[in-house]
Homo-oligomer: A and B are copies of this chain.
Amino acid sequence: MKIDGIPYRSVWVDSANGWQVRIIDQTKLPWSFEILRLSSAAEVAHAIRSMQVRGAPLIGAAAAYGVALAMRADSSTEALEQVAAMLAATRPTAVNLRWAIERMLTRLRNTRAADRVAAAYAEAQAIADEDVEQNAAIGRHGLKLIEAHARPGRKVNVLTHCNAGWLATVDWGTALSPVYAAHDAGIEVHVWVDETRPRNQGASLTAFELGKHGVAHTVIADNAGGHLMQHGEVDLCIVGADRVTAAGDAANKIGTYLKALAARDNDVPFWVAMPSSTIDWRLRDGVADIPIEQRAATELTTVTGRAMDGSVTTVRVVPSGSGAANPAFDVTPARLLSGFITERGTCEASDAGLRSLFPEAATPH
């Protein structure tokens, strides 16, 4: 996607030296656009934990590059297993992280140590390239769902939660890929952007992305979506996912479940867009079994924004005597979903639906 006319991915190898990994520091958006240079797996781990890179598919791709950086320092099998374990522990909920690391392990365990650096960069690049291609396919499949709501003289209103745009993936995004496809196809589309407290990924990343691409959008409080649906202001909801079980339960940014309940109560379609690397075929009951990350209370008790003098400032918004809890994801049961938008097309949110698109998937344990 382009920023001020220049095409970007969210992670790439530095073309000047051919080995450092570059990312956009997403904790600085939308106030400043800063590109970081990562030189070690430890720096990649820090970038993932601190959410300089975030979004399930991007975390996976970044971790793959983290393995490549580690191989450059030490390409022994011991170093490989160590870096895999270290990176896998950075964040617990998104399964794409484990998927990408396991793919790297499978590729590199069968590669001689001397060849591991080149193989690791090639495999990480393949993961990134495939992500771009899969997201473009998600856009084509999801476009049809948006198109179905298009009527002459009125815009299609899509509601989304958090950021599942190109910044959450390597390019295009998952939930926003159909929106970009619709916009580029000349459909008048307008996006209700949930602010997405506590980290405000909607207001800071989704609004930034959509603005840069020229897509009409309006930021709303996370509280407002139900009211808008009650009044016919939402044609369909599309969100991303961090982990989907074999039965179709979907973990996504905290608050997604509440919007899915409102969509069901108002007969608004609610779609989850994701590449198949987001499916955890080993799990069935998402509420019981998907690990939910608990993040620092300060993410809720403080807010960062731009002060009147232009400086980026952090303010405290909760009295100092009060504690805060910050679960980062929730799970939307399959029964509340209209279905999934994947790289192979759309399907029902169920065992049967997922297996109809991915028949080769392993039998769950």
A82 within 8 A of B: no
- Inter-chain CA distance A204–B301, complex, in Å, is 11
A215 to chain B, nearest CB (A): 11
- What 0/1 readout, one digit per residue, does chain A (244-275) give for beta carbons within 8 Å of chain B? 00000000011101110110010000000000
A216 to chain B, nearest CB (A): 9
A305 within 8 A of B: yes
A114 within 8 A of B: no
Stretch in A45-53, A73-81, A323-331, A345-353 touching the partner: A323-331
Contacts of A111 in B (CB 8 A): none
Q: From the candidates B200, B211, B258, B323, name the one contacting A225 in the complex (CB within 8 A).
A: B258
Q: From the candidates B193, B230, B287, B317, name the one contacting A305 in the complex (CB within 8 A).
A: B317
Contacts of A220 in B (CB 8 A): 300, 324-326
Contacts of A228 in B (CB 8 A): 327
A107 within 8 A of B: no
A36 within 8 A of B: no
- The answer to whether B327 and A227 touch across the interface, beta carbons within 8 angstroms, is yes
Q: From the candidates B257, B318, B325, name the one contacting A203 in the complex (CB within 8 A).
A: B318
- Inter-chain CA distance A304–B308, complex, in Å, is 12
Given contacts A303-B315, A322-B211, contact A222 B222 (CB under 8 A): yes
- The answer to whether B255 and A219 touch across the interface, beta carbons within 8 angstroms, is no
A302 within 8 A of B: yes
Given contacts A227-B292, A227-B327, contact A254 B219 (CB under 8 A): no
Contacting B at CB under 8 A, from A292-319, are 292, 300-308, 313-319
Contacts of A200 in B (CB 8 A): 317
A328 to chain B, nearest CB (A): 9
A316 to chain B, nearest CB (A): 5
A19 within 8 A of B: no
A146 within 8 A of B: no
Q: Which residue of B lies closest to A161 (CB)?
A: B223
Contacts of A224 in B (CB 8 A): 254-255, 325-327, 330
Interface size on A, residues (CB 8 A): 65
Contacts of A227 in B (CB 8 A): 254, 257, 292, 327, 329-331
A196 within 8 A of B: yes
A234 to chain B, nearest CB (A): 12
Residue with the greatest number of chain B CB neighbours at <10 A, chosen from A221, A303, A323: A221
- The answer to whether A315 and B304 touch across the interface, beta carbons within 8 angstroms, is yes
- The answer to whether B219 and A324 touch across the interface, beta carbons within 8 angstroms, is yes
Contacts of A307 in B (CB 8 A): 307, 313-316
- The answer to whether B218 and A323 touch across the interface, beta carbons within 8 angstroms, is yes
Contacts of A291 in B (CB 8 A): none
- The answer to whether B195 and A323 touch across the interface, beta carbons within 8 angstroms, is no
- The answer to whether A265 and B261 touch across the interface, beta carbons within 8 angstroms, is yes
- The answer to whether B230 and A255 touch across the interface, beta carbons within 8 angstroms, is no
Contacts of A302 in B (CB 8 A): 305
- The answer to whether A221 and B207 touch across the interface, beta carbons within 8 angstroms, is no
Given contacts A262-B261, A303-B305, contact A226 B330 (CB under 8 A): yes
User: Which 3 A-B pairs give the minimum distances between C-beta atoms?
Assistant: A223-B255, A305-B315, A227-B330
**23 A-B contact pairs sorted by A residue (CB < 8 Å):** A30-B319, A195-B197, A195-B318, A203-B322, A208-B322, A211-B319, A211-B322, A218-B323, A219-B300, A219-B324, A220-B324, A222-B255, A223-B253, A223-B258, A224-B254, A226-B257, A226-B258, A226-B330, A227-B327, A230-B331, A258-B258, A303-B305, A315-B315
